[in-house]
């Protein structure tokens, strides 16, 4: 077995473990990384971009270094299982959907906070369904497709570097008074690392979605109006593929953000969450197939 075929084997085994087992119930490495990042922030924080860049460089650099000498299929499988979040994403979406099906809108709003950072307290059923589907689209890209891309390209170091960056963006990459400057480096690095995965996610959504032409048209027409260079393409492609209307104005505490309307369809309802979950699963499997040639590539002599 060559190192590169071992890489694909490890990625496939880790992908399967995530689908079957989901995130580890205890001693999750990402949670440990988050605690370490929070502790380091107490030492490095200053209201400057440079301070945030140092924070990111230390944490991402150290995490990447951990994976440098771990290239076998077992190490790759474990790292892939740890960094992927497809099963947990699907489980959270299903939990919100179950509350909606039971007619318990307050419980659905509360559970939705596990998926999104927006204010959910005033959302109606359509607003909750929209938020779930947008989260499924964006996090399928960030937590499934993009890690697989970097795992195929760079093995365990790529997997760990991507997850470290993505976690830091979730922790400090916010547009608020504390993190506007300090979190800038984390947010920009996360945008960069997720760029190829987002385009692959959008392309797979076009190929595997219910309406290919609408998915392609909506991606090309509407993605640019979204404030995120990576969430825009995937959310627009999902909107077109599912025949729905996503996007619009979201509230984040005292701040609102206009994400532009994506798509020409109707407003989503709880039944559309099932369709979006199925599409997200298809995209995840499609991503594993798409990155196989990269993981199997031969080194030129």
The tokens for 50 are: 């440079």
Residue 213 lies in a domain: yes
Question: What are the pLDDT digits (tens) for 16-41?
Answer: 999 998 877 666 778 889 999 999 99
Percent of the chain with pLDDT strictly greater than 90:
80
Residue 301 lies in a domain: no
Please give the residue range of the domain that contains residue 89.
3-295
Instruction: For residues 133 and 122, give the distance between their C-alpha atoms in angstroms, rounded to a whole number.
Output: 18
Residue 101 lies in a domain: yes
Helix (H/G/I), strand (E/B), else coil: 183: coil
Domain count, the chain: 1
What DSSP string runs through 22-86? -S-SSS-HHHHHHHHHHHHHHHH--SSHHHHHHHHHHHHHHHHHHTTT--SHHHHHHHHHHH--H
Residue 42 lies in a domain: yes
Residue 175 lies in a domain: yes
Residue 88 lies in a domain: yes
Q: What is the pLDDT of residue 293?
A: 93
Helix (H/G/I), strand (E/B), else coil: 205: helix
What is the overall mean pLDDT for the chain? 92
- CB–CB of 174/41 below 8 Å? no
Q: Which helix (H) or strand (E) segment is 124 a member of? A: none
Residue 300 lies in a domain: no
C-beta neighbour count of 172 within 10 angstroms: 23
Q: Which helix (H) or strand (E) segment is 254 a member of? A: none
pTM: 0.92
Question: What are the pLDDT digits (tens) for 147-182?
Answer: 999 999 999 999 999 999 999 999 999 888 899 999
Q: Buried b vs exposed e over 1-19: b needs ≥16 C-beta within 10 Å?
A: eeebebbbbbbbbbbebbb
Residue 66 lies in a domain: yes
Has residue 298 got a pLDDT over 50? no
Helix (H/G/I), strand (E/B), else coil: 2: coil
Identify any residues that bridge with 250 across adjacent strands, giving them in sequence order. 257
Q: Which of 149, 138, 150 is nearest to 223 (CA)?
A: 138
Residue 243 DSSP symbol: T
Q: Which helix (H) or strand (E) segment is 217 a member of? A: helix 212-222
Question: What are the pLDDT digits (tens) for 221-277?
Answer: 999 989 899 999 999 999 999 999 999 888 777 778 877 899 999 999 999 999 999
Q: Which of 154, 23, 129, 164 is nearest to 86 (CA)?
A: 23
- CB–CB of 220/233 below 8 Å? no
């Amino acid at each position: 077995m060559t190192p590169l075929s071992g890489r694909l084997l490890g990625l496939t085994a880790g992908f399967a473990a995530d689908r079957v087992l989901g995130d580890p119930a205890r001693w999750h490495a990402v949670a440990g990384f988050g605690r370490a990042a929070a502790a380091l922030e107490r030492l490095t924080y200053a209201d400057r971009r440079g301070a945030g860049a140092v924070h990111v460089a230390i944490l991402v650099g150290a995490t990447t270094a951990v994976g440098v000498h771990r290239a076998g299929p077992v190490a790759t499988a474990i790292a892939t299982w740890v960094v992927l979040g497809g099963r947990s994403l699907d489980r959270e979406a299903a939990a919100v959907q179950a509350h909606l099906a039971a007619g318990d809108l307050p419980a659905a709003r509360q559970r939705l906070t596990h998926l999104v950072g927006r204010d959910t307290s005033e959302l109606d059923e359509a607003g909750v369904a929209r938020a779930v589907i947008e989260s499924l689209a964006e996090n399928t890209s960030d937590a499934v497709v993009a890690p697989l891309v970097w795992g195929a390209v760079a093995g365990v170091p790529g997997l760990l570097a991507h997850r470290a960056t993505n976690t830091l963006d979730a922790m400090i990459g916010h547009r608020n008074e504390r993190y506007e400057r300090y979190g800038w480096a984390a947010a920009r690095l996360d945008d960069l690392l997720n760029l190829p995965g987002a385009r692959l996610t959008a392309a797979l959504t076009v190929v595997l979605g219910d309406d290919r032409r609408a998915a392609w048209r909506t991606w090309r027409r509407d993605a640019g109006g979204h404030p995120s260079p990576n969430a825009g393409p995937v959310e627009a492609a999902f909107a077109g593929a599912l025949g729905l209307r996503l996007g619009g104005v979201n509230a984040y505490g005292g701040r609102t953000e206009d994400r532009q309307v994506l798509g020409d369809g109707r407003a989503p309802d709880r039944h559309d969450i099932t369709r979006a979950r199925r599409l997200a699963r298809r995209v995840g499997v499609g991503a594993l197939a798409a990155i196989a040639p990269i993981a199997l590539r031969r080194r030129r002599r």
